[in-house]
Copies of this chain bind each other. A is one copy, B any other.
Amino acid sequence: MPKYHDELDAVLRALADPTRRAVVERLAKSPAVVSELAAPFSMALPSLMQHLRVLENAGLITSQKQGRVRTVSLRPGALDVLHLWLGEQRTPAERHADRLGIHLARTDRKET
């Protein structure tokens, strides 16, 4: 499955940078406009835009422009490929707990 591996390569490479991870961490909370994302970093806007491009090419974020304002969001399921791979490296006892956890999360969602 070369596609799965290429996706993993891109996601891992994109996340192997503290600035890009900080952007993902911020977007995990809610979408944000580019100026908000730039604020915590002492970084020129073009450098931040370059980081955003890497994240977008890795399929981790999407963005939408309305007028002059660009809003950036974490792509739903963006980190699934990494969860999946990490899950495959777990021991049988850990896997059992994972499956139960997923079941309980689904039950939770149906109830709320």
Binding site for B on A (CB under 8 A): 5, 8-9, 12-13, 15-18, 21, 24-25, 28, 79, 82-83, 85-86, 88-90, 93-94, 96-98, 100-102, 104-105, 108-109, 112
Q: Distance (Å) between the CB of A14 and the closest chain B CB?
A: 9
Q: Which chain B positions have C-beta within 8 A of A88?
A: 25, 28
Could you tell me if A86 and B96 are in contact, using CB atoms closer than 8 angstroms?
no
> When A93-B105, A108-B96 are in contact, do A85 and B21 touch as well, CB less than 8 Å?
yes
Tell me the number of copies of this protein.
2
Please state if A96 and B89 are interface contacts (CB–CB under 8 Å): no
Please give, as numbers and ranges, the residues of chain B lying within 8 Å of A85 by CB-CB distance: 21
Query: Which residues in B have their C-beta under 8 angstroms from that of A89?
Result: 24-25, 28, 79
